[in-house]
Amino acid sequence: MTAPLRRTPLHALHGELGARMVPFAGYEMPVQYQGIIAEHAHARTKAVLFDVSHMGQAILPIEAGAALERLVVADLAGLETGKVRYSVLTNAEGGIIDDLMIVHGGYYLWLIVNASRKEVDFAHIAAHLPEGQALTPKPDLALLALQGPAAADVLKRFAPAAKLMLFMTSETLRIGDVKCAVCRSGYTGEDGFEISVPADQAESLARMLLDEPEVMPAGLGARDTLRLEAGLCLYGHDIDEATTPIEAGLAWTINRRRREEGGFLGDETILRQLVEGPARRRVGIRFEGRAAARTDAPIVDAAGRTIGTITSGSFSPTLQAAIAMGYVAAESSKPGTAVAALVRGKPVPGEVVPLPFVPHRYVKP
Amino acid sequence: MSVHFTREHEWISVDGKVGTIGITDYAQKQLGDVVFVELPEIGAGVRQGEQAGVVESVKAASEVYAPASGTVSAVNESLADNPGLVNADAGGEGWFFKITIADPAELAALLDEKSYQDYLGTLD
C-alpha cells in the first residue's frame, strides 16, 4: 500500500510550465520541463530555478547547538551567525543517517535535510534534545534553488544585497516584497542561492524569478546530472547508514577540533578510519564511451576482479561521456587506476579520476 | 511500402524484404534526451520480440526489441556521434537498423498506424 504522493506549493506552476512529473521521496516532482540536457546546459551557462520544497526544513533554538553537535561531525560551537555548514548526521556505527545544511540564524539554527530522510532525521534529533529544547519542523516553508553563473545578477535586481553575499553564508532578504531566508549555496557546483519562502508566496516568487530572461525552470533530472558532475553525494545512493563520512570522502567536513575531541555518534569508528584509512573509498570514474554505468553496476579491475560497486552514474552533458561515482577497495582508488564497470554484463572501460568531474565555481572570499 | 508498430513502441518500415527499424515518436518523448544507442552487429540474427539493442536516455537504459525476425543488413552509423537524431526525427533520420525479413507472415502480429495510435490513447 503506497501513500498518495505529496505536492509542493509549486505544483500548479509545474503543470503550467509543461513539467513531466515523477514520484520522488513521496512527492510528485518535476523531472524535466524542456529536457534534461537543455536544462543542465542552462545551469552551467546562465541560471535555472529548481523547486526543492520537498526537502525538510526545521528550526532549533540556538541553545540546542550543543545537543546537535553530538549528532553531527560539524563544529557548531565555531559556527558564526550568518554562516552555513554542510554536514552529516551519523549513527553509533559511524554510518551516515543523512547529509544536511545547518545555518546559524542568530537566535536559531535552521536545518535543511533530504526529503526522503526528514521523518527519520527529525525524530532522531528530537530524541537527543534535552528537556525544554524542541525541534520545530517547518512544513509551511517552500524552498527554491536559483543556480548558475547568472544567479547573482538575477537576484540582485530584486535584492541588491544578494550580490554581496559569500558562498555558504545566509541572510534574510526581501526579494521584491517577499521576506525570505536566503543562503548563497546549492548542489550543482555553480554559484547560486537557496531561498526559503512561506509556501503561500512561493509561486509569486518563482514566477518573478522565471520572468527574468536568464532563468529557466529545471527539474530533478538536471539536478542529478549537475550534482554528479560536481562530485556531490546523493543520499541513498552514494551515502547511507552503512557508509562512513571517511569512506565517502567527506573528511573535510570534520574540522581539527572535532577530530581531536570527537564527541559525536560513531566517533570511534570515524576517527580511527581517519587515521588508518578506510578499506574502501568513494571515487569518480570517467568512461571512454557514452554508455552509462548506473547504480549497483559492479566495478572490476584490470584483471576482471570485482573491486566495488557504482552508486551513481549517468551521461555527463558537460563532458559528453559517461561518468559515475562508486566505492572501490582503497588500493584501487588512486586517480589513473584503470577500472571497468559491468553494464548489461559487458565490461565498459574507464579510469578513476579526481572529483569533481567539472570544477566548482563558488564565490569564495 | 508499409509501416507496422509494436506495443513496445518500435516501428518497422517494410520495403520488399528489407525492414527498417526504429522507435516511435511517443517512445523518444517518454525517454527524453537520447545519449547512447547500442545496435546489433551487421550479419547478426534477430528474432521477433527479442532484444536487439539498447537505447539510453540521461535517466535510464531501455531495451529495443526486434519487431520481426531476420538478419541485420545495416545499422545507422550516425547515431554513434549524434544519438539526438532519435529525438529530432524518431520516425526518419533516427532509424536504428535494417534487417532482411525472414518471414513476412510475422508482420501480421504487429499494429498498423491507426491501431498503434488507438493503443497510445489507452496509455495514461
Q: Is the pLDDT of residue A2 over 80?
A: no
What is the model's pLDDT at position A3? 76
Looking at domain B2-102, which of 1.10.3720.10, 2.60.40.10, 2.40.50.100, 3.90.1150.10 is its CATH number?
Answer: 2.40.50.100
Residues A31 and A138 grouped into a single domain: yes
Closest Cα to residue A345, out of B17, B95, B51? B51
The position carrying cell 516568487 is A205
Interface test with B, best of A37, A296, A310, A319 (most B CBs within 10 A): A37
Which of A277, A293, A310 is where one domain is finished? A277
- Confidence grade of residue A162 (pLDDT, cut at 50, 70, 90): very high
Residue A292 located in a structural domain: yes
The position carrying cell 536504428 is B96
Minimum-distance CB partner of B58 among A225, A289, A344:
A225
End-to-end CA distance of chain A: 51
Residue A331 located in a structural domain: yes
Residues A269 and A292 grouped into a single domain: no
CA distance A285 to A340: 9
Q: Inter-chain contact B33–A291, Cβ cutoff 8 Å?
A: no
Q: A303 is in which domain, residue-wise?
A: 279-353
Q: In this predicted model, what pLDDT tens digit does every residue of A252-302 receive, in sequence order?
A: 999 999 999 999 999 999 999 999 999 999 999 999 999 999 999 999 999
Q: How many CB atoms lie within 10 A of CB A282?
A: 24
What is the model's pLDDT at position A365? 62
Residues A262 and A336 grouped into a single domain: no
Residue A25 located in a structural domain: yes
CA distance A131 to A225: 43
Number of domains in chain A: 2
Q: Inter-chain contact B54–A314, Cβ cutoff 8 Å?
A: no
Residues A6 and A77 grouped into a single domain: yes
Q: pTM to 2 decimals?
A: 0.95
Give, for all 124 residues of chain B, the pLDDT tens digit.
899 999 999 999 999 999 999 999 999 999 999 999 999 999 999 999 999 999 999 989 999 999 999 999 999 999 999 999 999 999 999 999 999 999 999 999 999 999 999 999 999 6
Say if residue A18 is exposed, middle or buried (CB neighbours under 10 Å; 0-12, 13-18, 19+): exposed
Give yes or no for B35 touching A (CB within 8 A). Answer: yes
Beta bridge partners of A342: A347
Q: Residue B105: in which H helix or E strand, if any?
A: none
What is the model's pLDDT at position A364? 76
Kindly list the residues from chain A whose CB atom is less than 8 angstroms away from the CB atom of residue B38: 291
- CA distances in angstroms from A315 to A291, B52, B57, listed in the order given: 7, 22, 8
CATH number, domain of A175, equals: 3.30.1360.120
Closest Cα to residue A194, out of A208, A204, A207, A180? A180
Residue A133, min C-alpha distance to chain B (Å): 43
Written in H, E and C, the secondary structure of chain A is CCCCCECCCCHHHHHHCCCEEEEECCEEEEEECCCHHHHHHHHHHCEEEEECCCCEEEEEEHHHHHHHHCCECCCCCCCCCCEEEEEEEECCCCCEEEEEEEEECCCEEEEEECHHHHHHHHHHHHHCCCCCCCCEECCCEEEEEEECCCHHHHHHCCCHHHHHCCCCEEEEEEECCEEEEEECCCCCCCCEEEEEEEHHHHHHHHHHHHCCCCEEECCHHHHHHHHHHCCCCCECCCECCCCCCCCCCCHHHCCHHHHHHCCCCCHHHHHHHHHHCCCEEEEEEEECCCCCCCCCCEEEECCCCEEEEEEEEEEECCCCEEEEEEEEEHHHCCCCCEEEEEECCEEEEEEEECCCCCCCCCCCC
Residue A318, min C-alpha distance to chain B (Å): 12
Write down the domain spans for chain B: 2-102
Report helix, strand or coil for B118: helix
- CA distances in angstroms from A42 to A140, A284, B23, B59, B79, listed in the order given: 30, 24, 28, 18, 24
Which of A277, A293, A319 is where one domain is finished? A277
Report helix, strand or coil for B64: strand
CATH number, domain of A312, equals: 2.40.30.110
Minimum-distance CB partner of A37 among B36, B54, B58:
B58
What is the model's pLDDT at position A85? 98
Give yes or no for A195 touching B (CB within 8 A). Answer: no
Residues A166 and A178 grouped into a single domain: yes
Residues A157 and A262 grouped into a single domain: yes
Question: Of all residues in chain A, what percent carry a pLDDT higher than 70?
Answer: 99
Residue A99 located in a structural domain: yes
Q: In this predicted model, what pLDDT tens digit does every residue of A208-233 receive, in sequence order?
A: 999 999 999 999 999 999 999 999 99
Residues A187 and A333 grouped into a single domain: no
Residue A9 located in a structural domain: yes
Q: A53-71 burial string, b = 16+ CB within 10 Å, else e?
A: bbbbbbbbeeebbebbbeb
Query: Contacts by A16-21 with C-beta closer than 8 Å and gap 24+?
Result: A17/A210, A17/A217, A19/A217, A19/A219, A20/A219, A20/B32
Give the number of residues written for chain B: 124
Q: In this predicted model, what pLDDT tens digit does every residue of A303-334 receive, in sequence order?
A: 999 999 999 999 999 999 999 999 999 999 99
Q: How many CB atoms lie within 10 A of CB B78?
A: 12
Residues A96-100: what's their mean pLDDT?
98
What is the model's pLDDT at position B75? 98
What does pLDDT average to over chain A? 97
Minimum-distance CB partner of B58 among A221, A289, A344:
A221
Is the C-alpha dihedral spanning A206, A211, A213, A219 positive or negative? Answer: positive
What are the residues whose beta carbons fall under 8 Å from the beta carbon of A113, sequence distance 6 or more? A55, A56, A57, A58, A98, A100, A121, A122
Residue A32 located in a structural domain: yes
Residue A360 located in a structural domain: no
Residue A98 located in a structural domain: yes
Residues A243 and A283 grouped into a single domain: no
Residues A33-62: what's their mean pLDDT?
98
Q: In this predicted model, what pLDDT tens digit does every residue of A353-365 receive, in sequence order?
A: 999 999 999 987 6
